[in-house]
Amino acid sequence: MKVLIAGASGGVGSNLIKVFDEDNNELFLTYKDNKNVIIEPKNATYKIIKCDFTNENDVSGLYNNLDFIDVVINSFGTAKNKLIKKMDLADWKAVIDTNLTSTFLSCKHSQNKLKDHGHIINISSVLASTGAIGASNYVAAKGGIESFTKSFALECLLRNKIYVNCIALGYFNTGMGNKLNQKIEKEVKRKIPIYEFGNPNEISKLVKYIISSRYLIGQTIHLNGGLYI
């Protein structure tokens, strides 16, 4: 199986590498700024590729150099939190571009490289459903990914028999979940019915289920410990 993890240098992306680290898999692992934080697979063959997914030339060049792919996972995430009245246009655009535009460009250029019955999984956030004070740009971007996934899933079925779905993640012991200060972490955990952040292995289990399905189409699946029901 050939798998491309877009955003493999992030916390979620790093954990997804483990899902596909098997002898018969070939992985394409992308990063934008820091190659050294990518966890290198132990069993699968792999290539680590620099790509700025906000740049269409970079994205088209990446996919043009691949013959085919079975699975693409778009795991982009950045935040520049400010209240709307204090947020400048540059902070708005940076978060929209990194999260939403990158997902659009990756989907656009990967669809003709995916084999029939291949899978695209886009990563969203529970905040797209709950909202968050001071994170309107992030929430808008992730909400856009969920809406985009629905339309793109329909287009892909018409042409390529590709299954497109989305995972909306809650708080996990990885990535942005590890960057919260103690006060905010405590407040968030109070809102989660099981009072704890998720184990990243739960993400892995869900990804495996999605790519095994031939009937899951255009869905956003929430994985958040009950934070949003």
Helical H runs in the chain? 11-19, 56-64, 89-96, 102-110, 127-130, 136-159, 182-191, 201-212
d(CA 116, CA 45): 23
Please report whether residue 162 resides in a domain: yes
DSSP 121-138: EEEEETHHHH--TT-HHH
**Catalytic residue at 138?**
yes
Please tell me which residue in 31, 138, 163, 171 is annotated as part of the active site.
138
How wide is the angle at C-alpha 140 spanned by C-alphas 138 and 144, nearest 5°?
A: 115
Task: Give the pLDDT band of residue 105 (cuts 50, 70, 90).
Answer: very high
Would you say residue 32 lies in a domain? yes
CATH number at residue 38: 3.40.50.720
pLDDT digits (tens, 9 = 90+) for 14-33: 889 999 999 999 999 999 98
Eight-state DSSP code of residue 219: -
Give the pLDDT of residue 165: 98
pTM of the model: 0.95
Mean predicted confidence (pLDDT) in 129-156: 97
* Span of 66-80, 99-113, 129-143, 171-185 with lowest mean pLDDT: 171-185
CA–CA dist 170, 127 (Å, integer)? 8
In the block, tokens 């990194």 appear at 98
Would 228 be classed as within a structural domain? no
Structural domain span for residue 212: 2-223
> Which pLDDT does position 225 carry in this prediction?
96
Instruction: Write down the pLDDT at residue 178.
Output: 66
Dump the DSSP string for 167-188.
Answer: EEE--BSSGGGGSS-HHHHHHH
Q: How many domains does the chain have?
A: 1
CA distance 193 to 21: 32
Q: Identify whether 108 is part of a domain.
A: yes
pLDDT at 10: 83
pLDDT at position 94 is 97
Look at residue 195 and tell me whether its pLDDT is greater than 80.
yes
pLDDT digits (tens, 9 = 90+) for 56-67: 999 999 999 999
Position 229 in a domain:
no
pLDDT digits (tens, 9 = 90+) for 33-44: 877 789 899 999
